[in-house]
Amino acid sequence: MKRPLVFLLAALLLAAPAARAVTLDEAVQAALANSPTLQAAEARIGSARAMLRQARSSYYPSVGASGAYSASDNPIQAFMMQLNQRQLNMMDPAFDPNNPDNADNLRLSLGAQWRVYDRQRDAGRHMARFGAEASTEAFAAARNQLVHEITRGFLGVLQAKAFADVQAGSVHSIEESLRIARERFLAGSAVRTDVLNLETQLAQANEDLIRARNGLQLAVAALNAGIGSELVSADTIESPGTAALAAPPPECTDPEAYENRSELRAARLMRQVKEMDLAKARAGYAPTVSAFASYDFDSDVSSGFEESYMAGVMAEVNIFDGARTRAAVQAAQAELDAARADEEQARLNLRLDLQQAFLGTQEAWERLDVTRKSLETAEEALRIVREQYEQGAADIALLLQTQVGVTAMQTRSIAARYDYLTALSNLKRAKGELGGSQ
């Protein structure tokens, strides 16, 4: 390759922008924008609000216009057509009610109807309002859950990445021990078995490293699937910081915090929907009152229009419908009983969820504190044993045992760290604090 071309490629590589790190907040916002679950929940909100507008529309009068043309020699029809056109002359010598001439009529009509009193309509409006509010709460609950899932997945990638780093460090540490063992073997101060044991340990460490790197790729794939796009890679994920690791978990000062969960509010609203459904069914026994009016124009096409109007009030009451209304009331009562049971079960589940989340943070914090101290002890022990082995004061079995112990403690320490951060997110979810606004 010519030297100018080499310089050009180097310049392009240096000028190329580095991949931008993705933060947890960016991952969450991308998931909120891409989530099919949230899109479906938002569509249900739109549907519920449209149903509420539909229910409210029944309080307004309905107005319509119509037009019709008809022709007939039927005595009654012909008689009524001429009468509406105000052209009927019963004194005409040619008038024969039994054999009328062909008659036609063009009618234009403007009509209005208005339901003045209807208890079923009132209950239906309340049902639609509670249903719209329940859809909004379901959307908030879905957001709350999704934010936690993305947070957990994001931390899971960081944990898997840290696991891979630990395994890579373990490989490097064993390689160093193997180098020392080979030097001692060549110097005659160690046996061939020491070298073979360390080579076996190195092979196992490389195998663990392969699994750890594969686990990292799987964690990245799972997170991107939750986000809905290939946003994150193992090299472009930014740690949210470690400030939270220095503070103990918050005290559970409000054991009833689950009452603020959107899931419970949604269950409560669904119970209210069923209460209104029962009221609507019972309203089938109540009368309804409607007002109506029409303004009509009639003509035989060859002459001008004649105007007329009609207005009135109509009351209807259900006397017998084959027990249909009674069956509807019984069905609505059963649905209400089920909704009340569902609400109570939701309360019990959410209370347990909050208790488990709080206890989980306490356990994770205690594990984090223990592993911090244990890791320091294990790392110091490895340093001492390695120096002793290098000087011939310790055997290979102790070195291998100490090396395995350090790797295990590093892994447990990383797990405790990210388990605690995940537990804090889960506690916020259990309190309903991650949903945010629509």
**pLDDT by residue (tens digit) across 212-256?**
999 999 999 999 999 999 999 999 898 887 777 888 888 776 778
| Contact between residue 87 and residue 128 where contact means Cβ atoms under 8 Å apart | no
Report pLDDT digits (tens) over 249-306: 887 767 788 888 999 999 999 999 999 999 999 999 999 999 999 999 999 888 889 8
**Phi first, then psi: what are they for 295, rounded to 5°?**
-130, 120
Say how many C-beta atoms besides its own lie within 10 A of residue 6's C-beta: 10
**Phi first, then psi: what are they for 94, rounded to 5°?**
-85, 0
Give pLDDT, residue 177.
Answer: 83
**Residue 1 covered by a domain:** no
Report pLDDT digits (tens) over 118-156: 999 999 999 999 999 999 999 999 999 999 999 999 999
User: Which residue is listed with tokens 């790197």?
Assistant: 213
Helix (H) or strand (E) holding 105: strand 103-117
Q: Using DSSP bridges, classify how beta strands 62-72 and 306-316 pair: parallel, antiparallel or unpaired.
A: unpaired
Compute the distance between CA of residue 279 and CA of residue 300 in angstroms, rounded to an integer.
Answer: 51
Compute the distance between CA of residue 72 and CA of residue 80 in angstroms, rounded to an integer.
Answer: 11
Q: Which of 252, 248, 221, 249 shows the shortest CA–CA distance to 234?
A: 221
Over range 353-368, report the average pLDDT: 92
Of residues 183 and 389, more confidently modeled = 183
Number of domain units in the chain: 1
Q: Which of 124, 123, 121, 132 shows the shortest CA–CA distance to 49?
A: 132
**Residue 167 covered by a domain:** yes
Residue type, 301: V
Domain that holds residue 161: 19-65+117-286+324-431
Beta bridge partners of 70: 105
Give pLDDT, residue 111.
Answer: 95
Give pLDDT, residue 280.
Answer: 94
**Residue 91 covered by a domain:** no
Among 42-51, 83-92, 275-284, 357-366, name the one with the lowest average pLDDT.
83-92
Among 7-11, 282-286, 404-408, 418-422, name the one with the lowest average pLDDT.
7-11
| Contact between residue 377 and residue 405 where contact means Cβ atoms under 8 Å apart | no
CATH number at residue 185: 1.20.1600.10
* Per-position DSSP letters for 60-85, written without gaps between them: SPEEEEEEEEEEE--HHHHHHHHHHT
**Residue 398 covered by a domain:** yes
Among 25-39, 371-385, 420-434, name the one with the lowest average pLDDT.
371-385
Give pLDDT, residue 264.
Answer: 94
**Residue 33 covered by a domain:** yes
Report pLDDT digits (tens) over 11-55: 443 444 445 788 999 999 999 999 998 999 999 999 999 999 999
Give pLDDT, residue 285.
Answer: 93
**Residue 281 covered by a domain:** yes
**Residue 299 covered by a domain:** no
387: tokens are 């120096």
363: tokens are 């356990």
| Contact between residue 150 and residue 314 where contact means Cβ atoms under 8 Å apart | no
| Contact between residue 116 and residue 402 where contact means Cβ atoms under 8 Å apart | no
**Phi first, then psi: what are they for 251, rounded to 5°?**
-75, 150
Compute the distance between CA of residue 186 and CA of residue 286 in angstroms, rounded to an integer.
Answer: 104
**Residue 249 covered by a domain:** yes
End-to-end CA distance of the chain: 58
Predicted TM-score (pTM) of this structure: 0.80
